[in-house]
Amino acid sequence: MSEFAGKAPGYPLAGLKVLDFSRVLAGPFAGRMLCDLGADVVKVEPPDGDITRIWGAVIGNVPGYFAQQNAGKRNISIDLRATGARELVFDLVRQADILIENYRPDVMPRLGLGYADLQAVNPRLIMLSISGFGQGGPESHKPAYAPIVHAEAGLLARQARRGNIPYRDLPLSVADTNASLHGLVALLAAVIHRASTGVGQHIDIAMIDATVVTDDQLHYDLERSEHTGPLRNDTWETGVGPILVSADFRFLWQRCTRGAGFIRDATTSDMPLDEKIATRRAMMADFMAGLDSWESVEKAMAAMNIAWGRVRDPATLRDQPTVQARGTIIEVDDRAGGVRPIPQSPYRFSAARSGVRGPARHRGEDNQAVLRDWLGITDGAIAALLSAGVLCSAGDEPVS
């Protein structure tokens, strides 16, 4: 069971009430971080469930993807198209501090739940809307998951050009998580602003904006100046496994030869440049391959004062020394009598708590508890909402 608002002493956001209407990643990740910081985050899930209930290993009838992004949240299930649903949402909004949604911009207004409708009910409400291309623009109507934004923002083209590979998507949803984290910053700024003004507001986060502003390499493209930047980081095969070295090869060569003296340069000044580069790279590859223990790798990199890291299989991430020491991956209740791994909150405070506060819930599992806590309504009224199809029965099976 999660430590809900009012039962989360020491958490910086204890007492903050959040309605999370979002699905998949961009919204749910922001909600998960708010929950880790102590807010009472209530996921409002439709009757057919969040699509992420079909992704990942299913343990205790909760799939892995859903479990990771919704840990610690409470869960109610509302059919927003049912008669009486809008009124129930209004009742919840009257008690809420924050509402998160990541539908296309026209969806919430069509349901009668646009910001103007909700602000009329609760002028102090802070609403975060995350969409691919923002509110009211030429592409606002377009559905957009992270890969679409990765393509539109130029990330696929840059990856293909620099890696000399075909166009392919990134192995993580950068556009979603960037938008989520920028949304989180905006939410907390709005909470501070409301404390001094009493005014809520609508925050419009476009995934493409968040991706562009977080792209530290973009200036090279916009100014046609990639030739002025450092060479790419290289991976090398050592005798014990691959490593990535974070250094321009020219700097690495200098540190390895004139600095540490590990290699005697066999190239000559009259060699053609391509031949010289190829020869030096071959010599470096031979040197790296000769490092036959992690101790010898560590010593060589330290002698050159070069930043490096093992190229790890993410399945073994819990063995990474810092991840292990900091408890970056923890175990939570798996709803089946055991535990399952989940990433811990990254926030480490000197005088406050943060962290995962419980497992993800089944769809509609907290209908009664949330409505009692937030609205104080009776079991009979809750039963009537279930009978009318406004609330959905607690579902314990993933969408199939």
Active site residue 265: no
How far apart are the C-alpha atoms of 365 and 186, rounded to whole Å? Answer: 30
Query: Which two tokens mark 371?
Result: 């409505």
Catalytic residue among 36, 40, 50, 176: 176
Please state the φ and ψ torsions of residue 98, each to the nearest 5 degrees.
-135, 145
CA 49 to each of CA 257, 369, 394: distance values in angstroms, whole numbers, following the listed order? 60, 19, 11
**Residue 171 CB contacts under 8 Å (≥ 6 apart), including other chains:** none
Using the CB atoms, write b or e for 257-281: b if 16+ within 10 Å: beebebeeeeeeeeeeeeeeeeebe
Using the CB atoms, write b or e for 33-46: b if 16+ within 10 Å: bbbbbbbbbbbbbe
How far apart are the C-alpha atoms of 52 and 64, rounded to whole Å? Answer: 9
Let me know: does 26 contact 207? Beta carbons within 8 Å. yes
How far apart are the C-alpha atoms of 155 and 144, rounded to whole Å? Answer: 15
Give the chain's length. 400
DSSP run (H or E) holding 254 = helix 249-254
Helices (H) and strands (E) in the chain, counts: 16, 13
How far apart are the C-alpha atoms of 236 and 241, rounded to whole Å? Answer: 8
How far apart are the C-alpha atoms of 379 and 381, rounded to whole Å? Answer: 5
**Residue 231 CB contacts under 8 Å (≥ 6 apart), including other chains:** 248, 249, 250
Active site residues: 176
